[in-house]
Structure 1
Amino acid sequence: MAIITLTTDFGEKDYFAGAVKGAIYTELEQQVRIVDISHSVSPFHISEAAYIIRNAYNSFPKGSIHIIGIDSEFTPENKHLAVLLDEHYFICANNGILSLLASEIKPAKIVEINIHDKLQSNFPVLDVFVKVASHLARGGTLEVIGKSINEIKYLKEFEPIINTDKNQIVGHVIYIDNYGNVITNISRKLFDQVGKGRKFKLSARMVGFENIHESYSGWINFEQEREKRGVEDGKKLALFNSAGYIELAIYKSNPSTVGSASTLFGLELRDTVTINFQ
């Protein structure tokens, strides 16, 4: 049975996500399983969507088909792609999101979808992307629905910057999760490559860190009696998260009551995060 996932900025209020699912079932009847990865991506936010799908897709079986409905309106500058990457299929707009997904793994095949003349649509995720996903789910090939290309839109501005002295990394906030934790685009791999074990200070607006932990509770000394440890909830920390990126958090925060890293640190998407090594 084919698996088709959906990652969009449609939200939960409107009919869009439901209509896409209905169209897939109409095409494939009972021969498909549809999985919602997220419909709560911030509108048109490419790097946020890339972070979500990049860290979700490899939990699915090889051959899964991933529809990404972010900034997908078809224009001369925003063509549509179908891609075979890491033995998974991705269907998305050529708006730079693929370059963020494929930063470390080269796509095996890329085609520019060319079936638009056969469809009347102002909702390409519903019509074009569903047709392509259904074709692939039936075992069809990429070459049937598009022409092979080698170049894709590349978003270099989302990469961290390393200075010439190799003692500073300047990154950005790329995602804020449900707990209000702030995820940067600085990976553990990059941190280790540049830092080489040196002491450092991480700065983001008015907050600073000199340690990065392995988990949310990594800073707690569990050998010490609980009564002597003092209040633990609400402590600020930096950690390498499960996706391998530096994350800034408040221990056991609740954004709706006591606040979160995003609100208490005053950090929003695309804000700067700097690491200076000594």
Structure 2
Amino acid sequence: MAIITLTTDFGHKDHFVGAIKGTILNNLPEVSIVDISHAISPFNIQECAYILKNAYRSFPIGTVHVVGVDSELSPENQHIVVLVDGHYFISANNGVISLITSEIKPEKVMEVNIPNLNSASFPVLDVFVQVACHIARGGKLEVIGKPFDALKELKEFEPRITNDGKTIIGNVIYIDNYGNVITNIQRSLFEAYRNGRDFEVIARTNKIKTIHNSYNGIINYNLEKGQRKGPGDALALFNSVSYLELAIYKSDQNTVGGASTLLGLNYRDTVTINFL
């Protein structure tokens, strides 16, 4: 059975997601439609890229991924299809695929070129859905597009190495439902420059000198409960997809706040690692 996933910033209040799903089912009644997320912050390409990169690998090879963020067609925002890592991504050329293609070379990149197709105000429905259904039926990319070689990248969010390799300067790229702060510093980069040295993670006025592998890694179970770190304490860890994350242990974003509010960190803010 063909699988089509949806990742958008449409939310659930309006008719957009329902119209997309209905149109897909009218074309392919047997298709399986999976929502990755419709809660991407409006026009937030980096947030969309992070979620998409870390979700798509869980799907079977051949899955078609429709990406509806900043999808309006323009001379600088072409509609494209990218075949990479055995998956098809239908998106605007806004950099959203670059977190994937920076690590894995695309097999094909095509610019969508379907004559007499109206894509004015709702391109995800009018264009992306048509392309997705064509691919899900087994159609060739060459039928709906032409080769394209100007894939955009999100270079502004690459970590920087300074101070002769003693400092990594990263940025906040995502804040999750718990208020945990995810940076663009990956474990592989950290290990490549650490060379066994001690370090400190600096986020505004906060300094953390240990990076854990789990959230409860902050707890020293050999200590009496009253002497342990625990709920409300800040910690750093490499999360399940190997990005450096800052969290407040067992905090609630909706009550006392999470790492983003308690540490004063927002999207694009700087997080630094100094090797000592």
Give the TM-score taking structure 2 as reference length: 0.97
Q: Is the contact made by 1:83 and 1:91 (CA closer than 8 Å) also made in structure 2?
A: yes
What is the rounded CA distance, in whole Å, between the counterparts of 1:179 and 1:120 in structure 2? Answer: 37
Tell me, yes or no, if structure 1 residue 38 matches structure 2 residue 10.
Answer: no
1:18 matched residue in structure 2: 18
What is the rounded CA distance, in whole Å, between the counterparts of 2:199 and 2:17 in structure 1? Answer: 45
What is the rounded CA distance, in whole Å, between the counterparts of 2:266 and 2:147 in structure 1? Answer: 38
Q: Report the alpha carbon displacement of residue 70 of structure 1 after superposing the two structures with TM.
A: 0.6
Q: How does 1:244-255 map to 2 (within 5 A)?
A: 244-255=242-253
1:111 matched residue in structure 2: 110
What is the rounded CA distance, in whole Å, between the counterparts of 2:6 and 2:169 in structure 1? Answer: 32
Q: Which runs of 5+ in 1 are unaligned?
A: none
Cα distance 1:146–1:200, how it changes in 2: closer, same or farther (>3 A)?
Answer: same
Moved over 2 A (4+): 116-121, 222-225, 227-231
1:100 matched residue in structure 2: 99
Q: Report the alpha carbon displacement of residue 222 of structure 1 after superposing the two structures with TM.
A: 2.3
2:84 matched residue in structure 1: 85
Provide the secondary structure at the position in 1 that maps to 2:218.
coil
Cα distance 1:81–1:120, how it changes in 2: closer, same or farther (>3 A)?
Answer: closer
What is the rounded CA distance, in whole Å, between the counterparts of 2:221 and 2:244 in structure 1? Answer: 23
What is the rounded CA distance, in whole Å, between the counterparts of 2:36 and 2:117 in structure 1? Answer: 29
What is the rounded CA distance, in whole Å, between the counterparts of 1:50 and 1:153 in structure 2? Answer: 12
Q: Is the contact made by 1:172 and 1:273 (CA closer than 8 Å) also made in structure 2?
A: yes
2:237 matched residue in structure 1: 239
Q: Deviations over 1:113-150 (max 9, x none)?
A: 11153335420001100000000000011111111123
Percent identity between matched residues is 61
Q: Report the alpha carbon displacement of residue 18 of structure 1 after superposing the two structures with TM.
A: 1.0
Provide the secondary structure at the position in 2 that maps to 1:96.
coil
What is the rounded CA distance, in whole Å, between the counterparts of 2:137 and 2:111 in structure 1? Answer: 19
Cα distance 1:168–1:85, how it changes in 2: closer, same or farther (>3 A)?
Answer: same
1:6 matched residue in structure 2: 6
Provide the secondary structure at the position in 2 that maps to 1:218.
helix
Q: Report the alpha carbon displacement of residue 231 of structure 1 after superposing the two structures with TM.
A: 6.2
- Supply the RMSD in Å over aligned alpha carbons: 1.3
Give the TM-score taking structure 1 as reference length: 0.96
The count of corresponding residues between Structure 1 and Structure 2 is 276
What is the rounded CA distance, in whole Å, between the counterparts of 1:70 and 1:116 in structure 2? Answer: 23
Q: Deviations over 1:202-224 (max 9, x none)?
A: 11112111110000001212244
Q: Deviations over 1:208-256 (max 9, x none)?
A: 111100000012122444x344462111100000011000000001011
2:177 matched residue in structure 1: 178
Letter in 1 for 2:88: Y
Q: Is the contact made by 1:7 and 1:38 (CA closer than 8 Å) also made in structure 2?
A: yes
Q: Is the contact made by 1:116 and 1:128 (CA closer than 8 Å) also made in structure 2?
A: no
Q: Is the contact made by 1:84 and 1:108 (CA closer than 8 Å) also made in structure 2?
A: yes
Letter in 1 for 2:114: I
Provide the secondary structure at the position in 2 that maps to 1:140.
coil
Cα distance 1:120–1:169, how it changes in 2: closer, same or farther (>3 A)?
Answer: closer
